[in-house]
Structure 1
Amino acid sequence: MARISYNLLELDVDKLFEEHKIEEIVEIEKLLDAEIERKRVELRSMVGDRYKDVLAASDAIKNMKTISQQIVDNIQNITDICEDLIESKDDKAAKTLPEIDTKCNEERVLIVQVRLAIFMNEQIWTALDGGDNLTAAQFYLLAQHIHMGLSLTKKEYLDKLPLLKQIRANLATLRDQIFERIKQKLEFVEITAEETSSNLNALLLLRNQSATDLLNIFIEHRKIALNTVINTSHASVRLQISAMVRCLITTIHLLHDCFMCYGNSKKGLIWQQLENIVEDESIPTLSKVDLPVTPLIAYIPDVIKQFRPKYKSFVGESAPENVKLGEWLASTKESVCKGLESSLKLITSVKGLHIIREEALKIELPSDWERICSESNLPENFNVWYYFFQSLITKRASELISKKVSCIIKDLESEIREVLSGNLGSEHGETDLRWYTWVEDPTDVSRIENKHTGLSMKTLGYSQNVVNLCEKLDGKYLELLIDVSQYLYGKEFTDDVIIYPHLKSDRKKFVDREELENHLRLESTKNSTSLTLFLHDFIKSESHKVAKSLLCARFLQAVTNLCPHFNKCCTFNASTEDWSRICGHFTKSSVQFWENWIESCVQETDKQARKLFSDVSVCSMISVLLRWDSIEIQEQTDEKIFKSQIKVPLKPSLTLHRLLSKLNDDLSHVLPHTLPKQVHLQFIEKTTETILNHYKLALDHNQLNQNQSLQLLFDVKFVTTFSIQRENSKLVALSQEICDKLRARIDPFDLDVFYSHLQNNVKRAVLQSQAILGCLLPSSAQLANLGVGEKFKEEKEPSVMALSVPSVSFPLFCTFAHQIPAQKAPVVDVQEVKVSSPKLTKTTPKRSQDPTAAIRSGAAALFGGLTTDWFS
């Protein structure tokens, strides 16, 4: 049965119907019913055995309660009967008490005074234990008055009372106790005006101080109360500051009620209480003492019975006029500042300061707070939070903003260091972005709005490393904006929170908004400029300097476009000056990083050019010269016409072509359409200057024949026409100097015949090369003097697919020479020269009658041109 019971408790109903027959299931059901009944019986027996004593105890307690109530009722009856008997006895004694002549009973008078002195000590202790320090002070003054009367008694009587000295000594101890209790009470953080006034009046009576002294004492004790709050351990800084605010509000409220005005009276509560104690109409102090019933009461002298405390300076004195609280305000502000110096360091977010401010502003002020502040001579629109705490909170918020912005830049520097320390020299590095830009990817088109990915980044030349760094930087600034938004605007951060309108009632609450916005703007500006210094210092002594310079240049370009939250931190209050300054600084630094790449390209170009120009002998020149153009010319004399052929260079030399192809590849690696115009021009100028310098060196160190000079002259003319702007006087002068030297090595007569044809071939070669070497054009207007500008204006249906607009516009494909107006770019093969004298005279060239000179458009023009002028 034990095994069956155990199995029944772990029974699986689903498996039961799968593994057993109907008869077995019915049997198991019967066993379950039996087991359930058995458990019920066990439960009943267990409850009866276990709780039997509890039930018995419950009955006993009920009986005890009834008996106890009966005992209490009986005791109360006995007490009532005894009180009635005492009252009836006193009445009888009073009726039968004969008049006593005090003059004849000096001893009895002395005895009652001694007994009264002892009793007053007890009453003072009782008042102190009850927290009534003012009553204790009055009793002390009465006891002192009693001892003064005893001191005038006959010496023979005093000698019989050695106990009197001990009583007087105990009274002196009680004075110190009263002062200690008053001090403790006045230093309570939360205390009522009644309690404060009674304790201050106790001091006033015991020390007979002036109102000004009393005010100073009150302020000193409230300073101690504030320090108690500051030094007390709190669960959080929020609770500590709230307690401090409550303490200061209580202090100001007490100051007004106790010293200035209380209720409907123009007097403070202190003076109202004092009037009830020291005026002639006030009840004597002895009447406040609960004297024991004894016949000796009749022997108490009248001077003791009529005693009232006196205050010599009191003549209806009220609160001192024009009470100056400047010293208290200054010292309290200093105490608050020192007290919260370490506590505020525990707050690590501006949102935490927002919570503290909200908690403090929730503390309710008295309904007549403005009147209280005005009558207390406090500054206009005085508020405890804004006067003592707001500047500290603002200062801490500024520190947190500075720290967070600094951490953002430091974190970014660490991330940049990690990226720059990576393998940037690989085939998928920053030096050649073609693998990234011209490769299709499924994520090129993002479905998320404003997502920095895909084609939008490829067209700008921002690699994934650059995009990731920008996203991290912008994310950090977004976290900063989220942190400060609640404090500055009272709502969660959104993109339009900066311009969110606020009610007039909120302006005081956000009194430091403009200050913190300006601080955030200045900190973001200052720290962002330090970022460029880090980048320059980091890549100085590192390997892969070019790749890292390119990454830094791209990153500084991308920051101004991909970091809207960084932008928002620098453009508060619609002030874009700082953001413009940052963009300018980043652009300038980016150009400096690009210069490292330019310098590298210039060095490689110089190295390659030095190798190519190392040998410009006749034999070596044959390997670099392309086919020359053969031109038939005619010379006419009086007798007959002489025909001859001349050859002039048609294309740049292979040496120049290799150099220009290398430069073109360098630009293609970094996506020329993404280069800043300044960088692009600087690249072209420096590399062109390097090439020209090598032509100049080759000219200075070698003796060139006429054909070599013609080819080099063609090369220099080609480079000058293609890549040098007219405004660049330095390079134009260098090119002119080289050309002059080359022309000097050519026969003047031949030069006069060849030069115009050479010039035409240069223009033709330039036009045919502009598509392949178009990246080396400094501007879209570079070839305007050759008719290119007019050609593109006339072309209304371009046959080339539109691509992204480059920073330096140039035609991506040549549209054919036949579309150029004949007068702008003449194409001649035969030139007639009439000789009427020993000098040769040039005739007007014959124009080609080729039908392809007509303007074509569409695909036919494209492919027709490719088979004619393009490769001619």
Structure 2
Amino acid sequence: MAGLDVDSMFRQFSVPKIREIEKQVKGDIETKKEDLRQMVGRRYRDIIEAADNIRDMKQMADHIMTSIRDVQNGFDKLQLLQQQLVTAQQRAHLKGHGKVDSELVRDTQLKLLLDVPELIWECLDADSPDTLLPAIWCLLLAENVRHGLMVQLPEDAGDKRSLLDRQTRQLRKLRIAVTEQCDRIFRAVDLETSQSALLDELCAMALLENASISDVLGKFLCLRKDYIVTLFKESDCSSREQMSRCAATIQNTILAVFNVFVPPSGGRESALLHSLRNAVQGEWQPVVFAAFVEEQSRTFKNALPNDVRHFHPDYKAALTDMTSAQLQKACSHWLQESLSVGRNEIVRLVDFCESIDSISALKKSVIETLNTQEPWSVASTAAVGAEFSVYDALIKASLLNRLKTLINETVTGIFDMVGTAIDKEIKLETSPNAQFWLELPSDTVNICSPKDSTIGASNLTLRARAVSPSVYSLCHRVDSQLNALSQALQRYLEVEKETADGDLRAAVSQACSSAVERFGGTITAGAWQARPNNDLPIEGLMRRGRLCLGLCELCPGLKNCLQLENKVKTEPANRRSRDDERGETWITARSALTDAAIACYLIWADHAVNVVSADVSLQDMILSAKRAEEWILSAQEWEVIDIEEETESGRKVASSILVPLQLSRYAHRFLNELTRVVSIEGAHRLPKVVRQRLAGSAWSAFDVAYQRLLSDTSGIGQRQAVQLLFDVKSLNQLLMPEEGSKSMAKLVERLESLIDPFDLDVLNAHMRRNVVKMVQRSAAIFGGVLPTEAMSAAGRASGSKPSGGAEQPQLLPVTASIARFNLLPVAAPTLTGGHPNAGGQPLNSSISADNAELKKRHEPSIAPIKSASTASTKSFYDKISTSWFGNT
């Protein structure tokens, strides 16, 4: 648009459009004018500010030049005054030594200036704290002589001035060397440094830097802190040496401050102030300088000025001690910083300790290094305002934290090892039948009370307790490792009386409790995952359960570790209460292990019943009882009882009835096979709740089979119904002795409906008697799967003569206290730990619920245990396998 001329615009645009374009162009013109005005204004302001700055700079330069001239005039006046002072001193010296001229005095001082560096290097080469103060005194003397010669020498003495310049450069190097030597010596202050040597060092520092006592203390503490920092960077020292030297450095520094900077009682001066006053105002001279002067000629001695012969360092700081508040503030600040640096490094070094014994050795080394004599309490109180222990403030917390970490790692590693090793041991372990029921020539009888530990018992005693070699080996390893842990902890506490021993004992107890709870939870979770409806193996459940119980019975070290929190060392052992010996921690841990064992046992019990039921084909055998040929093959022995009945006419009619004497073949076979399977796994040590679970699961299996059989009663005769009724009542008495079952009542009601009421009335009394006999005979034979109440009920029934003059059954006695386990199952002691059915729910209801859930799932993947059934039908005892009484 800008390139169009006027004619083109009038041809292309209308008049209103052209007016708009004109208005826009005028607006742009005004905008550019405004921008230009603002730019010019800014530039004008910049020029004004630059002019003001130039004027200020000129005024400042004039002021600086005036000040420089004033300083130059002051230097000229001082030089003139010094020349007048030196001239007066020379006149006084020449007045006393009339034959000595000024040239000889200058030459003598120049010779002294040339010889003093050799004296200084001699002191430095000695590398001793006692030679540091003489070296600094000689250095200050040489600098004072050099300053005087700079004024005294005339301008035309070119050779002497060049020699003076060379010595000036050498004195500068000497000051640097002396300063480095001073810093190095301060860093190495320890108990072997005497108080006089430390005083000389600090006094030398004050004279060298013309510092006050507070400045000397700050420099000394700063150097000691730097030494602590560099101490941990030395690679040629072990961790133990580094920590010991750090603790000793902090303690030695506090002792040095107390001996040097703290004024004694009675208003006297501190040792450092007294030493400084003696060096500045007294007649003290270094021995090395006095010996040097004595070796010179008489002319040299007479030519030395008095201010050189009796030199006193020019100390301009105030000769006063620090107040107690200032001293404690400086020391407390340094102590906090040093402890912070030391703790950070010690935490890193302590992490390299992999055992409690190494920490005990470290603690012993540090305590032996520290000085625990009587002056420490007074020194720490005076220096920092309160008594403290270097070990407690610096190292104790780090050691305790590392100890707790090691304790947790050790205990966790022990139980992780058990969890890993149990699976390997199960794979390598032989059959339980060969472990528990085979006697070896090396077996010895070992009679021990139930309270005694099984560790160290004979093989026979271990097998009597159903302890397999793998379980015993693992428990023994756990016990030995926990005992080693307790002994290592005791050795740590014996190094020195530890105020935190209760925390360490509680840490061991809590670590064991947490590990046991976690281990029990892992076992329980694994047990529920290994239920028969899953694909996981289930053979090791009994081993895992025995391992949990073995940790309670075979590991006294575990009990001791769990009770460390409740033990009081000052209380005699015979005065501890039983509640202290059985601490809550131990009870909780034992309950966790017992719960895990019970969970394994219960799941295994259900699995065993299911496997045996499938192996003997229980349901098929019961259902086949309807067929006549099966009935003949499974015919049992019946008791023939002669009875007389009186007719309505008064005539007596003699008849006989048949009453069942023994269980059916399928029931015998099922119970016998289940007993064999359970006995192989050590039935004599099964807890009460597991035996109840076995009996309940077995009854549930029978109940399901009977319910299926009675769903169709066609084909079941009266005699078959009588036998089935006898089986149901006998099995119920054997497997569920304490309480009746609703399912049993329904079965009895349905079976009784199949029997003639008059015959049933006659049979009831005789059937009850035979059921009692059957329970008495089976209590010992099938004791491995029967609950304790069934065996107790059988024993009570056998003690009283039954009605009807029946003969007493011949049963072998079963005792719970034996010196050498017999071949009959012994009732296991009742466990006090909790179990899944301990919440008040009836056992048979929980068993039925579990079995109902199991029936909905697929069959277990474990191969059923093979059994050899007997086919004899002559008598009850002919049907029992003789393998129970043998060694195989």
The TM-score normalised by the length of structure 2 is 0.69
Would you say 1:472 and 2:468 are equivalent positions? no
SS in 2 for 1:441: coil
Whole-angstrom CA distance in 1 between matches of 2:877 and 2:586: 49
Give the corresponding residue for 1:854: none
Letter in 2 for 1:455: L
Give the corresponding residue for 2:443: 443
Whole-angstrom CA distance in 2 between matches of 1:214 and 1:108: 40
Whole-angstrom CA distance in 1 between matches of 2:119 and 2:730: 121
Whole-angstrom CA distance in 1 between matches of 2:548 and 2:288: 90
Whole-angstrom CA distance in 2 between matches of 1:605 and 1:316: 101
Would you say 1:400 and 2:406 are equivalent positions? yes
Deviations 1:214-249 (A, max 9, x none): 222212222333345444456755555444444344
Whole-angstrom CA distance in 2 between matches of 1:648 and 1:482: 70
SS in 2 for 1:613: helix
Whole-angstrom CA distance in 2 between matches of 1:326 and 1:99: 57
Whole-angstrom CA distance in 1 between matches of 2:436 and 2:182: 83
Deviations 1:297-320 (A, max 9, x none): 555555555542243332442564
Quote the offset at 1:338 in angstroms. Answer: 4.0
Give the corresponding residue for 1:170: 170
Whole-angstrom CA distance in 2 between matches of 1:811 and 1:471: 28
Aligned pairs for 1:438-837 within 5 A: 439=439, 441-445=441-445, 451-489=456-494, 509-532=497-520, 535=523, 545-572=537-564, 573-574=566-567, 576-607=583-614, 608-619=617-628, 620-631=630-641, 632-703=643-714, 704-727=716-739, 732-780=741-789, 784=793, 788=797, 791=800, 800=812, 803-805=815-817
CA contact 1:474–1:564 (8 Å) conserved in 2: yes
Quote the offset at 1:695 in angstroms. Answer: 0.5
* Residues 271 and 184 (structure 1), Cα distance of their counterparts in 2 relative to 1, 3 Å cut: same
Give the corresponding residue for 2:261: 259
Deviations 1:604-663 (A, max 9, x none): 243221231342324133332423344424134255444444444343222222222223
Whole-angstrom CA distance in 2 between matches of 1:792 and 1:244: 89
Whole-angstrom CA distance in 1 between matches of 2:404 and 2:286: 63
* Residues 613 and 780 (structure 1), Cα distance of their counterparts in 2 relative to 1, 3 Å cut: closer
Quote the offset at 1:683 in angstroms. Answer: 1.0
Letter in 2 for 1:721: Q
2:415 to 409, 412, 431: 409
Whole-angstrom CA distance in 2 between matches of 1:782 and 1:657: 17
Would you say 1:146 and 2:145 are equivalent positions? yes
* Residues 246 and 159 (structure 1), Cα distance of their counterparts in 2 relative to 1, 3 Å cut: same
CA contact 1:429–1:547 (8 Å) conserved in 2: no
Matched residues, number: 689
Deviations 1:767-808 (A, max 9, x none): 343333344442336774996275399xxxx995664449xx
Give the corresponding residue for 1:199: 201
SS in 1 for 2:645: strand
Quote the offset at 1:724 in angstroms. Answer: 0.9
Q: Percent identity?
A: 21
Give the corresponding residue for 1:389: 395
Would you say 1:358 and 2:364 are equivalent positions? yes
Quote the offset at 1:588 in angstroms. Answer: 1.0
Whole-angstrom CA distance in 2 between matches of 1:517 and 1:437: 43
CA contact 1:189–1:229 (8 Å) conserved in 2: no
Deviations 1:393-427 (A, max 9, x none): 333333433333334334434432321222x4xxx
Whole-angstrom CA distance in 1 between matches of 2:791 and 2:413: 48
1:312 to 316, 321, 342: 316
Quote the offset at 1:460 in angstroms. Answer: 1.1
CA contact 1:520–1:570 (8 Å) conserved in 2: yes
Give the corresponding residue for 2:123: 127
Quote the offset at 1:699 in angstroms. Answer: 1.0
Deviations 1:67-126 (A, max 9, x none): xxxxxxxxxxxxxxxxxxxxxxxxxxxxxx995569x95555544444444444444334
Letter in 2 for 1:479: A
Whole-angstrom CA distance in 1 between matches of 2:288 and 2:546: 95
SS in 2 for 1:442: coil
CA contact 1:605–1:687 (8 Å) conserved in 2: no
Q: Which residues of structure 2 form unaligned runs of 5+?
A: 1-93, 449-453, 568-579, 803-809, 826-873, 879-888
Quote the offset at 1:749 in angstroms. Answer: 4.7
Letter in 1 for 2:563: T
Letter in 1 for 2:148: G
SS in 1 for 2:646: strand
CA contact 1:652–1:714 (8 Å) conserved in 2: yes
Whole-angstrom CA distance in 2 between matches of 1:714 and 1:734: 15
Give the corresponding residue for 1:504: none
- Higher relative contact order (Cα pairs below 8 Å, separated by 6+ residues): 2
Whole-angstrom CA distance in 2 between matches of 1:526 and 1:284: 71
Quote the offset at 1:534 in angstroms. Answer: 5.5
* Residues 320 and 233 (structure 1), Cα distance of their counterparts in 2 relative to 1, 3 Å cut: same
Aligned pairs for 1:230-379 within 5 A: 230-233=232-235, 237-261=239-263, 266-279=268-281, 290-291=292-293, 292-293=296-297, 295=299, 298=302, 300-304=304-308, 307-318=311-322, 320-321=324-325, 322-324=327-329, 325-341=331-347, 343-345=349-351, 347-363=353-369, 365-366=372-373, 368-377=375-384, 379=386
Would you say 1:187 and 2:197 are equivalent positions? no
Deviations 1:236-273 (A, max 9, x none): 55555444444344323212112115799954322121
Whole-angstrom CA distance in 1 between matches of 2:823 and 2:187: 88
* Residues 342 and 320 (structure 1), Cα distance of their counterparts in 2 relative to 1, 3 Å cut: same
* Residues 366 and 769 (structure 1), Cα distance of their counterparts in 2 relative to 1, 3 Å cut: closer
Deviations 1:581-619 (A, max 9, x none): 221111111112212321221212432212313423241
Whole-angstrom CA distance in 1 between matches of 2:221 and 2:464: 72
Quote the offset at 1:554 in angstroms. Answer: 1.6
CA contact 2:549–2:594 (8 Å) conserved in 1: yes
